[in-house]
A and B are shown apart, each in its own frame.
Chain A
Amino acid sequence: MRRVRAEILNARRLGAFQSITLVAPEIAERARPGQFVSVAVPDDRRFILRRHFSIHQASRRGGWAGTLEFVFDPHGPGTDWLAEAKAHQFLDVIGPLGKAFAYPRGPSNCLLVSEGHGASSIFFLAQELRARGKRVDMVLGASGESHVFKPIEAKRLSQTIVIVTADGSMGERGSVMDVVPRAAQTAGTEVIYAAGPRRMLRTVAEFCIDQRIPAQVAVEEEMACGTGLCFTCVVPVIRKDGSGYDNLRACTEGPVFNPARVFWDRWMSEETRPVPTPPEGFSPVVSSWPA
């Protein structure tokens, strides 16, 4: 990974999304799908953490060599600030970070499933898979039409595509999982890749485990550093020998994981369990405050 001061080559709107292209050859040359960049926010101390974005494009060759694109949906202080960024401005960027998607050995039919901004890294993956002679099919999900990510390019990148929106404003109405089984059947899918919200990833994971389809998912978890320093971004992952689980850093050991080994019940326990049990072994940072 490298830390660079990268010039913005181009900042543009893409439906509900905002796209930023950077001149960052040091990062672009090494970037692979599933990896992400960490972008520093302004120095006014009001909010301080870097923000993290999947790499959508990295050009190593041709006229755009050395550029890197990421895409986001402005919805909070960090993304709102970035949405105002203009060409020729400089950003403090670290990347490429994290583990990339692995490519299947041998000829394979790959189904690429995404929802919302999860499509960003999936498009990069689609290109790389096609360049390796794999068949790519897609399921592209979103809340509504404006959040369907680059549908025309998606069609160009894939053999078949199913678009599904929660409100039915584009493609079929429903959720990603409503259409994945059919899409996989039609395409003769041998491998599934997915990126998007946790709840969606979990349903895809259950399907893959049930159908014994090898899969990889790219997760998002709140991150402070993005570079492995702070252990705030952990995801519980079951050990290979099944002897328990470890909290692995999504920024370093992820964000791509084998969904069959993610301990979903534990990772999503905040959804069901109101009070946490203290860590095994011991010691909360602050369990209580002296009376």
Chain B
Amino acid sequence: MAGVKQTLSVDLAGIRLASPVVAASGCAGTGRELAGLTDLRRLGGLVTRSLTFEPSRGWPGPRVAETASGIVTGVGLQNPGVRAFVAEDLPRLARAGIPVMASVGGGSLQGYIRAASILRGEPGIVGLEVYLSGADEENRGLPFYSRIDRMAEVVGAVSRLSTVPVFAKLPALLPDLVPAARGCIRAGAHGLTLIDSVPGMAVDVRRLRPRLGAIIGGLSGPAIRPIALAAVFRVAQDLPQVPVMGVGGIATAEDAVEFLLAGAWAVQVGTALIVNPSAPTEIAQGIAGYLKAKGLASPGDLRERMRLTGEQPARGTSAS
């Protein structure tokens, strides 16, 4: 359709990205590696691997096992600590001109606060993402996401410290996903990232042992896309004003459009980036083509475009 001025840019609670396709946490290295393989400036943005206050070595290997249409990984947040990140990786990322969202992890409320304090006001960081799948030392080592009050405490503390918008990253398989999402927003988060990888495991039957050093890791890749999509849809239906970044198994433009139709404001690409360094660029180009074919001006125009026919299930029930 002639006359429609098209853009790929999106605005996520004040974070302006030139493309809605962002590199997911833990899948984009330190900023040095991608440079030789793809045009970094065409990346909508990059979420860092989750950073903790103290450096962490992560789990022993093996850290990856390939399964049907996906991979199970157990890296265990290997990172140099938030101070080393600010000193070494951030300047390089900033020079490359990519909008950086820093992912914040921790083992206790204090851990999150200390990490977020170091990141506070750092130029070059356009947003924070709060990683909530780590073990909570103050709650028997259960993940933070297992209690809404605990998530709210952490997300609230990080949001109060932050000078940039904060996204809470949630897993899909929470029985009360929508209340959890609401809890994070009420606590001060500006947006949500859905989903983290899904707990998964693989066993080497020949050698009779788990295939990962961590034993249980996270499943990612095409295998989890329908799970991620359902999570995005449920939350977006309930919180249409809240920016949601959809992530989980996105490998093509069509996959990304699915998420944008289901209510995501932007998408992140993890496993597909690991396999194909130009996946984000290719996906962004494909989205542009799709918008053009449909006569739409921007990715945001896809939200609420999905035709929902038939009877709608009552809010909160899972239609299975």
Chain A residues engaging chain B, CB cutoff 8 angstroms:
1-3, 40, 45-50, 92, 94, 221-225, 227-236, 245-247, 252, 266-267, 269-270, 274-276, 278-290
Contacts and interface: CB of A to CB of B under 8 A. Distances in A.
Contacts of B215: 275-276
Nearest to B272: A48
Question: Chain A's interface: helix, strand, loop or mixed, by majority?
Answer: loop
Contacts of A281: 52, 54-57
Nearest to B216: A286
A30 to B, nearest CB: 11
Interface residues of B, number: 67
B103 interface: no
A234 B66 CA distance: 16
B249 to A, nearest CB: 9
Interface stretch (B94-102, B134-142, B233-241, B259-267): B134-142
A40 to B, nearest CB: 7
B199 A229 contact: no
A242 B200 CA distance: 36
Contacts of B276: 40, 92
B66 A49 contact: yes
A267 to B, nearest CB: 7
Contacts of A288: 135, 141-143, 216
Contact of A227 (B37, B73, B134, B217): B37
B74 A229 contact: no
Given A49-B275, A223-B64, A224-B71, A229 B134 contact: no
Interface in B8-45: 26-30, 32-34, 36-37
A94 B37 contact: yes
Contact of B78 (A2, A247, A269): A247
Interface in B83-125: 105-107, 111
Interface in B195-217: 197, 199, 209, 213-217
Given A229-B33, A282-B135, A290-B142, A48 B58 contact: no
Contact of A279 (B77, B137, B271): B77
Given A40-B276, A222-B62, A286 B37 contact: no
B61 A48 contact: no
A176 to B, nearest CB: 21
A232 B277 contact: no
Contact of A282 (B29, B68, B134, B216): B134
A247 B58 contact: yes
Given A282-B135, A290-B143, A45 B251 contact: yes
A166 B269 CA distance: 46
B273 interface: yes
Question: Chain B's interface: helix, strand, loop or mixed, by majority?
Answer: loop
Q: Among the interface residues B71, B105, B197, B278, which one has the most CB atoms of the partner chain A within 10 A?
A: B71
| In the A-B complex, the 9 residue pairs with the closest CB atoms | A290-B146, A228-B33, A282-B107, A232-B64, A281-B56, A232-B63, A229-B29, A283-B134, A225-B274
B199 A289 contact: yes
A228 B29 contact: yes
B49 interface: yes
Contact of B76 (A236, A269, A283): A283
B165 interface: no
Contacts of B143: 286-290
Interface of B: 26-30, 32-34, 36-37, 49, 52, 54-66, 68-71, 73-78, 105-107, 111, 133-135, 137, 141-143, 145-146, 197, 199, 209, 213-218, 221-222, 251, 271, 273-278
28 contacts: A3-B277, A40-B275, A224-B64, A225-B27, A227-B37, A229-B29, A229-B274, A230-B75, A233-B64, A234-B63, A267-B61, A280-B57, A282-B111, A282-B137, A283-B56, A283-B105, A284-B74, A284-B76, A285-B77, A285-B133, A286-B133, A286-B197, A287-B143, A287-B216, A288-B135, A288-B141, A290-B142, A290-B143
Given A283-B105, A285-B133, A286-B133, A229 B273 contact: yes
A289 B106 CA distance: 17
B56 A1 contact: no
A286 B217 contact: yes
A234 B111 contact: no
Contacts of A232: 61-64, 73, 75
Q: Among the interface residues A49, A269, A283, which one has the most CB atoms of the partner chain B within 10 A?
A: A283
Contacts of A252: 33
A285 B75 contact: yes
A138 to B, nearest CB: 30
Given A227-B34, A270-B209, A286-B133, 5 more contacts: A231-B58, A270-B62, A274-B209, A282-B77, A283-B106
Contacts of A267: 60-61
Given A1-B36, A286-B199, A230 B134 contact: no
Given A224-B71, A247-B78, A284-B76, A278 B60 contact: no
Contact of A233 (B37, B49, B63): B63
Q: Among the interface residues A221, A270, A278, which one has the most CB atoms of the partner chain B within 10 A?
A: A270
A67 B75 CA distance: 36
Contact of A283 (B64, B66, B107, B221): B107
A1 B71 CA distance: 25
Contacts of B199: 286, 289
